[in-house]
Amino acid sequence: MKHRILQAGRLLPSLEARLTAEFDTHLLASEADPQAYLAAHGGEFEGFVTSAGVGISAATMDRMPKLRVVSSFGVGLDKLDLAAAQSRGIAVGYTPDVLNDCVADLAMVLMLDVARRVSEADRYVRRGGWTTPGVASFPLARKVSGAKLGIVGLGRIGQTIAKRAGGFEMDIRYHSRRPVEGAPWRHEPSLIELARWCDFLVVITAGGAGTKHLINAEVLDALGPRGFIVNVARGSVIDEAALVRALVDKRIAGAGLDVFENEPQVPSELFTLDNVVLLPHIASGTQETRQAMADRTFDNLQGFLRDGRMVSPAPLPN
Ligand code: NAP
Ligand code: 8YV
């Protein structure tokens, strides 16, 4: 008998094909009323496949009394109620490490783009600015190589960003609650001091309640009118209203943003600003990395159901 698995939303076709071949899979998102479906059929499923953006709540777990395993496509744990899973004895798997390269690459892209005005220059060329007589020449940009980089969160991805920035001969310091043992970069216990010191502040902490609005108006003011911010973590880590005000008032130099507080909504005030680069949460979005995430999502689920072992079990909450 195949294990019954509930799939929260659509996933990569290759992952869906593997899930369907191996398990008796049902797509919750295909139901007109997912809550009513859960109330009527939640008790039939042993496994739940979700993603970092969708997660799973305690209320959903309550409707799935036979649930033994959750496998999430993504590394972020902020939408997975790990405490609820732990108290119900439900194992949770996720996809760390396989996306470090691509998320770090995109952090560098955003830093280079916003500082060197790449997207702005592209818009200038497309609208004919370069060939229009009398139009002022394109403004000069900011140098990235050798600049001061502050990294907020020196975890798996933060360290990968630091290694890349080393290739740009950047002076690197970081902030996290605890210094990372053996890390060659200087730990700055004060986030405000890090922001005051650096030219570029890259945010790559975990999301969730513990980091909500960690970057507030005070941090942005410490970064100052020559400082740029890049966020590839979660929108919730930055007080978005404070960020918009700081950008509109030119109290910081610019921002490169892959994530937002209320995705897919992006504050409309940002659309008219040339010193802002806006992306639709694509940091892990390459074919190679998404396939690796898909494989890990499958392997976690299959490993647990086969012999109780996952490749990447999520850390238990404290
Ligand atoms: P990780 O290895 O767990 O690193 C998280 C880092 O955040 C650690 O250095 C941790 O250090 C720091 N941190 C946590 N709470 C903090 C706080 N209150 N103040 C300061 N630092 C804090 O995670 P990762 O694999 O690098 O991933 C990081 C996050 O990136 C994920 O959780 C996810 O939300 C996001 N992400 C986004 C995308 C995207 O598409 N944009 C893709 C992948 C991941 P301490 O515990 O010592 O404070
Ligand atoms: C995913 C992410 O694209 O892994 C994460 O935490 O934010 C991204 O890699 C996304 O969450 C998939 O739902």
Judgement on whether residues 248 and 128 belong to the same structural domain of the protein: yes
Mean pLDDT of all residues in 20-30 = 98
Whether 108 and 191 share a structural domain: yes
What is the residue-averaged pLDDT of the chain?
98
Helix pair angle (100-116, 287-307), 10° resolution: 150
Name the amino acid, one letter, at 62: D
Q: Does 53 sit in the ligand 2 pocket, CB within 6 Å?
A: yes
Residue 111 three-state SS: helix
For 67, the token pair is 């649930």
Question: What's the domain count of the chain?
Answer: 2
**Closest by alpha carbon to 70, among 87, 97, 51, 96?**
51
**Which residue range is the domain that position 213 belongs to?**
100-278
Amino acid at 49: V
Residue to mutate, 54, 204, 261, 281, ligand 2, most ligand atoms under 8 Å from C-beta: 281
Cα–Cα dist 40/30, whole Å = 15
Question: Looking at ligand 1, which atom is closest to the CA of residue 159?
Answer: 26
In a domain, 270, yes or no: yes
Is the CB of residue 177 below 6 angstroms from any atom belonging to ligand 1? yes
Which of 129-143, 210-224, 239-253 has the least mean pLDDT? 129-143
How far is it, in rounded angstroms, from Cα 25 to Cα 65?
17
What is the distance in A from the centroid of ligand 1 to the CA of 50? 20
Residue carrying the six token digits 């009323």:
33
Which residue from 42, 49, 38 is spatially nearest to 8, judged by alpha carbons? 49
Check whether residue 104 and residue 81 sit in a common domain.
no
Q: Please check whether residues 64 and 119 belong to one and the same domain.
A: no
pLDDT at 85 over 90: yes
User: Could you read off the pLDDT of 160-202 as tens digits, one per residue?
Assistant: 999 999 999 999 999 999 999 999 999 999 999 999 999 999 9
Degrees, nearest 5: CA angle 74-93-61:
100
Same domain, 126 and 262: yes
Residue 106 and residue 172 in one domain: yes
Q: Per the domain annotation, does 166 fall within a domain?
A: yes
Same domain membership, residue 42 and residue 168: no
On whether both 157 and 240 belong to a single domain, the answer is yes
Active-site positions?
234, 263, 281
User: What pTM did the predictor assign?
Assistant: 0.98
What percent of the chain is helix, strand and coil (3-state, nearest 5)? 40, 15, 40
Residues 59 and 123 in one domain: no
Q: What is the mean pLDDT of residues 146-154?
A: 99
Looking at the chain, the whole-number percentage of residues with pLDDT higher than 90 is 97
Sheet strands (E) in 29-144: 47-51, 69-73, 91-93
**CA-160 nearest atom, ligand 1:** 26
Q: What is the CATH number of the domain that holds 65?
A: 3.40.50.720
For residue 314, is it within any domain? Answer: no
User: Are 203 and 271 part of one and the same domain?
Assistant: yes
In a domain, 316, yes or no: no
The pLDDT value recorded for residue 136 is 80
Burial annotation 300-318 (CB, 10 A radius, 16+ → b, else e): bbbbbbeeeebbbebeeee
d(CA 224, CA 218): 10
Residues 119, 215, single domain; the answer is yes
Domain identity same for 262 and 120: yes
- How far apart, in whole angstroms, are the C-alpha atoms of residue 48 and residue 30? 15
